[in-house]
Amino acid sequence: MRSRYYCDYCDCTFPDNATNRKNHIDGAVHQQNRQRYYAQHRSLEEVIEESRTKPPCRQFMRDQSCAYGANCKYSHIMFDRYTGNPIVPDEIQSRQKSSQRVRYELPKNWNKKDLSPSLLPPPRKGYDWSNVGQWS
């Protein structure tokens, strides 16, 4: 029986044989997906260690942003010239946090706008306490 090969990175399957595997793994799509996968799953420590070996990204240093994001081949992390401590930009910190965050999902057919306010997730910026005095 022929088995199928499942590629985790691309979330796809194909008949498993040496030629198919090689073609797939050498393919541009797979390479991209693999890079993206690792970019999303690396810990901050790994990102920092890797950045030490890469030249700084000029675009990022200038604009504080870079179109390549996590896939940039240059480093977005600066190192303090004297202490060698990493200076991690917000962009990277927030990405690391968001990849670790647990996502809550509503049951099927539930619509967020139909929920009563007490069931809604807290607003992004926190609650507005400025009118608290008027509640009573």
Residues lying near Zn ion in the complex (CB under 5 A) are found at 7, 9-10, 30, 57, 60, 66, 68, 72, 74
Per residue in 10-37, is it b (16+ CB within 10 Å) or e — as a string? beeeeeeeeeeeeebeeeeebeebeeee
Cβ at position 67, least distance to Zn ion in Å: 8
Residue whose CB is less far from Zn ion, 54 or 106:
54
Residue whose CB is less far from Zn ion, 30 or 95:
30
| Cα–Cα dist 78/128, whole Å | 36
- Amino acid symbol at 101: R
Residue whose CB is less far from Zn ion, 68 or 110:
68
Strand ranges inside the chain, DSSP E: 4-7, 12-15, 78-79, 86-87
Cβ at position 95, least distance to Zn ion in Å: 13
Cβ at position 46, least distance to Zn ion in Å: 17
Cβ at position 3, least distance to Zn ion in Å: 16
Residue whose CB is less far from Zn ion, 30 or 42:
30
| Cα–Cα dist 36/70, whole Å | 8
Query: Taking CA 89 as the corner, what is the angle to CA 103 and CA 49, rounded to the nearest 5 degrees?
Result: 90
